[in-house]
Chains A and B, each alone.
Chain A
């Protein structure tokens, strides 16, 4: 785990937010009990809703959400907590359904009180939302459409759930509880305003222009951006940003990409993008001078977070080389001569992105490169297949044991290498990986 104390702090903070509505009841004169199962169900309803509300906070991309574990982890957390919250809300209903069936009547009935229908509607939308998020690709939903749908689902489900709670007005009779719940609602609206109005406006005020588009190996493109009369965002090598092209920042058409250029450049920055999905396939159509907006930087995947490291091991798969290029180029520009091993897995030699520049980097860096080619050309004498434990053992000397390890590539590669590293007794805190392809 990256930082136990920091993780512990944030989890406690999270629990505090979610459990505040309940704990405030305990502070005043306690309402009389109505039977364990009834009160348990009500508590689950409240906490489930509070969890869903806090989900907005998790993905609002506040600067503080960048700390210690990296925003990719926060997104994964967001994903799994949503599932937990849905389970909790289902339990809330299931208890009522089995223990107090009369109190909910028929959930599908359209004649029931509006707040019960609001509750049922909210549960239905929450379920749909989670199904779409967990199985977006098998369902054939395009990323941009899915994001829009996700936001519409989230706002409508939470509004219905708030209406449900307001209508039931169960614990809300306690004034402190009532005030707190209204504060939560207000906060929820404020958050939507920040994420959907204010933040895009701040981005709109800082437009970038595409100044270069360069074809790389393996259907990848490097796009150079320059800020329009201001200082570009300052980033740590290895970080990423959300990029909006051909749309205003209010259009929710942004996509996260790793910055591939050096953090030491004057005032431009580069993204290297591979044609993989519906958006990336259109990158090549970008024209010079086109306006782009950036939200970033984000991510904890950076050598700058480990200034004391004696050396680095970079393990890249395919386009996972992009953030690693940023770190290598930055080290070159800083004259950093700490030892580096790069183990780089690609499909074939022809499609090994940046292979010429990597070779050239050997002159200025203490860099060892091990290419692992899945389909090697004839006469290839280097490593073939996948990056395995055997390859790591063969090339990594004992001194590398205390180095910092950076992994970026497809999930299968990442999992395989992480296991191999754990097997080599590399401490978990020294292994860093960027998780992408989140939805």
Chain B
């Protein structure tokens, strides 16, 4: 009987933790569930046709690099991947050089990124210029 009590209390404790975690997530996302997908972060960016049209094979190479480097474990594109750090608007916001610096965690970005993130990003310094160019092209034309 004591064992059964221990079991019940443990189960109840687990349930409370589950509910409080859900409450926490709910507090962080006050918008009604239906609307949240329409938030600018998650909405796919309307694509503006690029005059000359992107180099399809280079974009494809960029996509491969994006996948190989598991960018989606921290970022999302068009709602796919970790939604915390959306890259949807990134192509519009920054120049190629800025993007390159942001990808590789250039020292100049010390004020923007925490040291931890900077260190993490610096592992992408190993990417060649061609690879970075392809990746940036993909980010602009996902």
Q: Which 5 A-B pairs have the closest CB atoms?
A: A84-B14, A80-B10, A33-B29, A40-B25, A43-B21
- 59-108 of chain B: CB within 8 A of chain A: 68, 70, 72-74, 76, 80-84
Decide: A47 and B21 in contact? CB cutoff 8 A.
Answer: yes
Q: Which residue of A lies closest to B116 (CB)?
A: A169
Complex CA–CA separation, A111 to B73 (angstroms): 13
**Beta-carbon contacts of B20-63 to A below 8 Å, as 1s and 0s?**
11101111111101001100011000000000000000000000
Complex CA–CA separation, A25 to B28 (angstroms): 10
Asked if A103 lies at the interface with its beta carbon under 8 angstroms from chain B, I say yes
Asked if B112 lies at the interface with its beta carbon under 8 angstroms from chain A, I say no
- Chain A: number of interface residues, binned into ranges: 35 or more
Decide: B24 and A39 in contact? CB cutoff 8 A.
Answer: yes
Complex CA–CA separation, A293 to B1 (angstroms): 32
Decide: A35 and B10 in contact? CB cutoff 8 A.
Answer: no
Interface residues of A (CB under 8 A from B): 1, 7, 11, 14-15, 18-19, 22, 25-26, 30-40, 42-44, 47, 51, 69, 72-73, 76-77, 79-81, 83-85, 87-88, 91, 100, 102-105, 111-113, 116, 168-170, 172-173, 415, 418, 422, 428, 431, 433, 435
- Chain B: number of interface residues, binned into ranges: 35 or more
Asked if B128 lies at the interface with its beta carbon under 8 angstroms from chain A, I say no
Instruction: Please name all residues of chain B whose beta carbon is closer than 8 Å to the beta carbon of A1 when the two chains form the complex.
Output: 5
A-B contact pairs, 7 of them (CB 8 A): A1-B5, A15-B20, A40-B25, A76-B10, A103-B76, A103-B81, A113-B70
The prevalent SS among residues of A at the interface is helix
Q: Which residue of A lies closest to B81 (CB)?
A: A102
Decide: B6 and A88 in contact? CB cutoff 8 A.
Answer: no
Asked if B126 lies at the interface with its beta carbon under 8 angstroms from chain A, I say no
A217 to chain B, nearest CB (A): 29
Complex CA–CA separation, A105 to B82 (angstroms): 11
A33 contacts which of B30, B73, B80 (Cβ < 8 Å)? B30
Decide: A35 and B24 in contact? CB cutoff 8 A.
Answer: no
B112 to chain A, nearest CB (A): 12
A166 to chain B, nearest CB (A): 9
Known: A88-B14, A100-B81, A100-B82. A36 touches B29 (CB 8 A): yes
Instruction: Please name all residues of chain A whose beta carbon is closer than 8 Å to the beta carbon of B22 when the two chains form the complex.
Output: 40, 43
Complex CA–CA separation, A79 to B7 (angstroms): 9
Decide: B14 and A81 in contact? CB cutoff 8 A.
Answer: yes
Decide: B13 and A35 in contact? CB cutoff 8 A.
Answer: no
